[in-house]
């Protein structure tokens, strides 16, 4: 199961991370080594095993879908890098 060549720029874009050329080289090589270590799993017969997402088979409990008070808007906006008219301000998305 040795890892195939990783297209690090593609992964970086999917990750929304801008990498410098040096970082791209470094992470490409480090990720390859870490994934090669997954070879440890090759010896196990895994196809017949059910996957586990959560160790405790908890049934996630959901609350009723009813409106209720939340954290105050002013408190949430206080942490925003930019806000305007009581809203988060984002970068321009339309031409």
Partner 1 sequence: MSLATETITTLRRRLDAGEITSADIIRDVAAAIDAQNPEIGAYLSWDTAAALAESTSSIPGPLSGIPVAIKDNINVTGQPCTCGSRILAENYRAPYDATSITQLRAAGAIPFGRLNMDEFAMGSSTENSALGITRNPRDLSRIPGGSSGGSAAAVASHTAIAALGSDTGGSIRQPAALCGVVGVKPTYGRVSRFGLVAFASSLDQIGTLTQTVEDSALLLNHLCGYDPRDSTSLDTPVPDFTALLGRDIKGLRIGLPKEYFISGIHPAVTAATDAAIKQLESLGAHIQEISLPHTEAGVSTYYVLAPAEASTNLARFDGVRYGHRTASPADLLDHYMSSRAEGFGPEVKRRILLGTYVLSSGYYDAYYLKAQRARTLISRDFDQAFQKVDLIISPTTPSPAHKLGELKNNPLQAYLEDIFTIPANLAGLPAMSVPAGFALEDGKKLPIGLQFIARPLDEATMLSAAHAFEQAAQIR
The residue ranges that bind partner 1 (CB under 8 A) are: 1, 6, 8, 11-19, 23, 27, 30-31, 33-35, 37-38, 40-41, 44, 46-47, 49-56, 58, 60-63, 71-72, 75-76, 78-82, 88, 90-93
Name the phi and psi angles at 39, rounded to 5.
-55, -25
Contact 10, 4 (CB under 8 A): no
State in angstroms the smallest separation of the CB of 61 from partner 1: 6
Check if the beta carbon of residue 23 is closer than 8 Å to that of residue 8: no
Query: Least separation, in Å, of the C-beta of 87 and partner 1?
Result: 10
Minimum distance from residue 77 beta carbon to partner 1 (Å): 9
How many CB atoms are closer than 10 A to CB 8? 19
């Amino acid at each position: 199961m040795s890892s195939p060549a990783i297209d690090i720029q593609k992964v970086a874009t999917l990750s929304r991370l801008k990498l410098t050329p040096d970082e791209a080289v470094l992470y490409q090589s480090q990720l390859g080594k870490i994934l090669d270590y997954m070879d440890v799993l090759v010896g196990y017969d895994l196809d017949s095993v059910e996957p586990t997402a959560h160790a405790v088979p908890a049934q996630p409990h959901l609350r009723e879908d009813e409106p209720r008070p939340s954290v105050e808007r002013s408190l949430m906006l206080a942490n925003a890098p930019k806000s305007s008219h009581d809203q988060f301000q984002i970068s321009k998305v339309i031409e």
